[in-house]
Chain A
Amino acid sequence: MSNLLLNFAWLLLLPVACFAEWTVNLEYSLNGFTNSYDLGVIEMRRAFDGNFTGTFKPAKDKNFGQRLLDAQDGTYSVRAKSSSQPGQTFLTTSDPCLFLHSNLFHVFWISISQDKQELHTITVFPDTVAWRNDEDGKYNSLGKSCSEKSSLAATSSGSPKGIVHVVGESTLPTPDTASFVQKLEREKRAKQHGADADNRSFIAKYWMYIVPVVLFAVISSAVNPEAGAEGQAQ
């Protein structure tokens, strides 16, 4: 019975999950938005736990890699417009070179408000998982021009790819008095029931005090045997 209900609930929720709640349109430019091209769109969907996940749907742009290669020491700017916030634009920039190294794989790091369904910031990163093998871990964005860093093979052609990382607004904690009180009560109860009482034997509990005393007695009697013998003689 409960299974049936659950299935029913699933059916109800399914269409909700399929439709994007809101979208973020992206366009990019390599010369400060004198020329701009479509990069794709991020679709935001609400999961069952209330959190959002984003999916990047790239635009069919075969020249993307080539454009980055042409402007490898320039600035790669991405402008975003959220469908939930008309009139606001979001900007993020990075080095084109980084994306040539990561085989055009992007990480879109976006921070949102789950309640208001609003975009706070968007940041574009190269995806280090797709890092070219010879460069792993060694690469940094500082210094040098792109071509000096390493030779860029023809793999740079192609269209953008990417994943989306969503940072929501979490809640700051409040002092956890409730569980502390619970813990104290639990300890009190445990003490009353004696469940936690130490039921080891006397020797097992206090051996560390007994051993030195015994040792001392043994040693002192071993060192001074005559004294004992004299006493007996009297």
Chain B
Amino acid sequence: MFFSKMRLPLLVTIAFFASTSAIFEDQVGKFDWRKPLIGCPANLHFDKAGSKSDRLIISTEQSILASLVLNTGNIGWRKIMEDSSETPNGQTFTKDREYIYSISSDGRSVRVWHKNNGVMARQLTISEEKSSVQAIHVAKEKLFVASGKTLMAYRSGDEKPLETVVVKKERSFSAFFQLDESLIHVSAHPGDSHLELVKINDDGSFDSPSELKMEGFSMEKCHAQSEYISCLKGSQLLVADVFKQKVHKLQLDSDQYHLHPSTTGKLILARGVDKLHVIELTSESGLQVRKTVDVTSSEAVGVAENHESIVVASSDAIRVLSVNSNHHYSAKRTSSEDGKIMENSKPKRVFARKSEKDWEIVLVGEDCRIEFVTVDETSKLVNLEWAREESLINTVSVEMVDLPLSESQQMIEDEFEEAGNFFTAFARRIHSQCGQLVRFFTKNVEKIIHVATSISRDGNGVSDFINSVRAAGQIGSASSGPFERDYFNLRKVIIVVTSSGTVFGIDSADGQFLWKMWLGDSFSPLESQLEQKRVPLFVQRTTAHYQLDGLASVVFSNKITRNGVIVSFNPMIGKVESRNELGYPVKRVTVLPVHTNKHVYPVMLIGKNDEIKTFPSITSDELTATTSSLYLLDLQQQSVQGLKIDISTQKIQPVWQGNLGLTADDEIVAVKGKSFNQKVHSQGRVLVTREVQYKYVNPNLAAVASINKANQHLTITLVDIVTGQVVHSAAIGKSAKPIHLVHSENWIAYTYWSEKGRRTELGIIELYEGSEENHTQQDTFDSKIVQKLPPVVAQQSYIYAQGVDAMSVSETEQGLTTRSILLAHPSGNIHEVSRRLLDANRPMELTQAMREEMMIGYMPEIAVATEEMINYNQTVHRVRGIKTSPSGLESTSLVLAYGTDLFFTRLVPSGTFDILKDDFDHVLISLVLTGLVVGSYVTKRLARSNALASQWS
């Protein structure tokens, strides 16, 4: 009381709350893990970094340049470029002995990187214009760059170009060719039937261009390699020799061929439906098919680095064929996974080289899995050295599922499940308790053995002993433990769905893969209005019903037919339960808020022409009166509809129609509803005046954010989906993307870029029903009956000194803990802002009573302190989404942030109020306690004998 009466400075108060979220140094890595990713490789080079071990230099579709350590598969270094769009061919780069030269920022600059540590040495601006037609080459101490219309030469280490040529027309193709000492730049302009050749002299100057006639040149059907440009024109193969300026022709047997991309060297690969021609250009006989190899569609082909062998890889075998001789052999691949379901796709790209001992082959799958295998020529064994799952970079949907109940928990459930008379119930009780006793003993014996072995292993100091006893208390929670729910339900299976067509089960304790599912070669993500790619994931049955397995489903579309596909699987082991292809393309997918008799929440798939199917189907007697229909919000440009779907009759009918003020200029940027199982613990908020302000908790409320392109107005409309009632609508001018929105309980938090203030602003809208008199004491919220008074809206806005990439809100089991808003910064931090700070009711003037309530006065800025970063120094790049999930502990929320990296941690928005600190030392305290008891007994005896002795003396 005394303290609250003292005048605490505002900052101290804030610092006090803020400091609770930081972690200690010894907690680093204890609850969290991070998976740094590089993305789907488009281009790969074997390389030696200095005198150290071999590296792979990879440029990926997600515009990342990375170096992997060849022996381990770990990332040596990784450079994340700013290019926003996906680059299917990766970054254009070249390398020499020491540096890597890459074209970045959409063809506007060249960056030079140190090869062994990835440190940037130089950056050169080459063009003002964006262009995807790029080429780069290093030769004779000079760097040659072509991007868009420009062609430049630099002397190594120089900032200024030696020479620059800017052509008038846009290029459609650009490449450098080198043969011995001569160097040529070849380009083509769209629509032209000739190539433009520019000879580059020794001093770096460019000759005037000459022309080479090349009929039917088009970028899609042509491929540049070594000294040739090869093109397919129907069934005819045209190969232009750049240096001899001559075009060779070869007639193939059909027009089904395509040129194999990413081939280097002199061999030209033309791949047909079931065969592969290896073609070579020789000066004597022109184009010539050197070898024809039978290949199936599930095999990928690559040329070895020495250009003498062809490597053909499929999911279960690798074939190596020599071009010059008949020498060839095949090695079988075996999966070495121990009982786990690990479905991998067929390989897409093959990169190979021959070392002294064996073949080193890097396989890139359709699922972006990078595998490094070695093939021993003599034993014909394929040895998997390491593998990386890079499709995780395309994560689109995440769910966290509880682990199954442990054996003892199941027994307790069993005990109350079955009905019976008094005696059977008693027998069951005795039986289950005997079982518990047996388990207790076996567990302790295991523990003792573990301690004993670790003591004998670790040495015999006192500190070693204490440490090993401490460690013994933690076995079972670690990854070695059984696959069952832990006491606080903190360990979960994270299901991750990617837009590459893979589904992963990840152990949340350490980030290990439990299982992997490949959704098939015909996989294609659904496309939605707001986000581009979507693969919805639904947990239909959790593991709470221990007699029944969990069930989850993913919905995607077939690449060929465009029809919707739903795959249901067991989320614990990744076993596919059913796979159904619909007869129509999917427009909307939703999970029903009502479950069948088997505790499965069906998924409803609505087609383009309002076809409806539910998986699994639900019968009308499983529906209750309150859940017989489902309401959907249908947002079209300028017209908004509320649809009612009768689940049993599967009829869709509009229930309301309006426009929410959307015009042709308005773009909807976010629509956020609430999940139907969100819990709101407290119905009201106690005010300083001891009155209660009741929350307006409408489960049918959706927040729609739209931005007007013409006048830069950001409008947030809160609409009731059942009735179309606009509860609140507000707009702000001079705002721009990125806009993020979070909707939870009775509040909406949003961020936007304010053009006026040139800063990010963070706003909050809270809805209240008003004080007691207006609060109708109803069990359930009823949208169809209007409140006597409209909801009271409290709004506030704050300056936020950082950009925002993604936004989310913490989720706890009972919704009792103060929520936190999580904001991912472009710099790679994830910032936790408590709702106490992001509050619409922070008063400008603090009165004495408010101070007693520990209210925080209004400050226009939400401070970004480094100790509030939940990922401390574990930078998480390009975060696209943050998934939060409750744990068994009310204080703790589990968080997975996904983007270029995956980052998982536990979040305690109000501190761990319901659990002892994890460094609470049970063992030491009990040891001290027993020591004290024993000590006091001993000293008592000693004192008595002392007193006796002194009396005798």
Where the two chains meet, the residues of A that have a C-beta atom closer than 8 Å to any C-beta of B are: 32, 88-95, 98, 107, 109, 111, 113, 118-123, 125-129, 137, 139-144, 165, 167-177, 179-180, 183, 208
Contact = CB atoms under 8 A, between A and B. Distances in A.
Nearest to B658: A121
Interface stretch (B154-162, B341-349, B649-657, B917-925): B649-657
B765 to A, nearest CB: 8
B462 interface: no
A123 B723 CA distance: 6
A175 B788 contact: no
16 contacts: A92-B723, A98-B784, A109-B786, A121-B656, A123-B656, A125-B723, A141-B784, A169-B731, A170-B793, A172-B795, A173-B795, A173-B797, A174-B754, A176-B797, A179-B844, A180-B844
A176 B840 CA distance: 12
Interface residues of B, number: 59
Interface in B182-223: none
Contacts of A180: 844, 858-860
Contacts of A125: 723, 725, 784-786
A175 B786 contact: no
Contacts of B859: 180
Contacts of A98: 784-785
Nearest to B657: A91
Interface in B661-700: 661
Given A88-B659, A128-B788, A142 B625 contact: yes
Given A172-B730, A208-B2, A123 B782 contact: no
Given A120-B661, A121-B719, A144-B625, A172 B732 contact: yes
B583 interface: no
A122 B658 contact: yes
B780 interface: yes
Given A167-B790, A170-B728, A128 B656 contact: no
A141 B729 contact: no
A118 B659 CA distance: 10
Contact of B763 (A95, A119, A137, A172): A172
Given A95-B784, A140-B780, A208-B2, A176 B729 contact: no
Given A32-B653, A93-B655, 4 more contacts: A123-B723, A142-B780, A170-B730, A172-B731
A169 B640 CA distance: 17
B747 interface: no
Nearest to B735: A172
Given A121-B726, A165-B790, A137 B778 contact: yes
Contacts of A170: 728-731, 793
Given A167-B729, A172-B714, A140 B723 contact: no
B728 to A, nearest CB: 7
Interface string B337-380: 00000000000000000000000000000000000000000000
Given A121-B724, A183-B845, A174 B626 contact: no
A12 to B, nearest CB: 31
A121 B725 contact: yes
Given A167-B729, A172-B730, A137 B776 contact: yes
B263 interface: no
A98 B761 CA distance: 43
Contacts of B777: 137
Contact of A121 (B659, B731, B754, B785): B659
A142 B626 contact: yes
- Which 3 pairs show the lowest CB-CB distances between chains A and B? A121-B658, A111-B726, A143-B625
Contacts of B861: 175
B33 to A, nearest CB: 37
Interface string B1-16: 0100000000000000
Given A125-B786, A175-B798, A167 B726 contact: yes
A94 B778 contact: no
Contacts of A89: 657
Interface string B719-745: 110011111111110000000000000
B797 A123 contact: no
A136 to B, nearest CB: 10
Nearest to B797: A173
B757 interface: yes
Given A123-B725, A175-B761, A140 B778 contact: yes
Contact of A174 (B640, B719, B732, B787): B732
B716 interface: yes
A42 to B, nearest CB: 14
Nearest to B654: A91
Contacts of B640: 121
Interface in B700-727: 714-717, 719-720, 723-727
A51 to B, nearest CB: 14
Contacts of B658: 90-91, 111, 119-122
B281 interface: no
B730 A118 contact: no
B656 A93 contact: yes
B797 A120 contact: no
A168 to B, nearest CB: 8
A94 B726 contact: no
Contact of A126 (B661, B729, B785, B790): B785
B702 to A, nearest CB: 13
Contact of B657 (A90, A126, A142): A90
A128 B860 contact: no
B660 interface: yes
A175 B784 contact: no
Interface in B623-660: 625-626, 640, 653-660
B322 to A, nearest CB: 70
B558 interface: no
Contacts of B596: none
Contacts of B778: 137, 140
A143 B779 CA distance: 14
A169 B730 contact: yes
Report which residue of A141, A144, A173, A177 has the largest number of chain B beta carbons within 10 angstroms of its beta carbon. A173
B239 to A, nearest CB: 62
Given A123-B724, A169-B715, A171-B731, A140 B785 contact: yes
Report which residue of A111, A128, A170 has the largest number of chain B beta carbons within 10 angstroms of its beta carbon. A111
B94 interface: no
B780 A107 contact: no
A169 B714 contact: no
Nearest to A90: B658
B123 interface: no
Given A90-B658, A120-B658, A139 B785 contact: yes
B796 interface: yes
A114 to B, nearest CB: 11
B124 interface: no
A93 B784 CA distance: 9
Contact of B782 (A140, A169, A174): A140
B871 to A, nearest CB: 27
B43 to A, nearest CB: 46
A113 B661 contact: yes
Contacts of A169: 661, 715, 729-731
A179 B714 CA distance: 24
B799 interface: yes
A129 B725 CA distance: 18
Contacts of B845: 183
A6 to B, nearest CB: 32
Contacts of A129: 788
B659 A120 contact: yes
A158 to B, nearest CB: 21
B798 A120 contact: no
A196 B217 CA distance: 85
A209 B539 CA distance: 61
A130 B732 CA distance: 37
Report which residue of B659, B725, B799 has the largest number of chain A beta carbons within 10 angstroms of its beta carbon. B725
A171 B730 contact: yes
A222 B826 CA distance: 68
A33 to B, nearest CB: 11
Contacts of A92: 655-657, 723-724
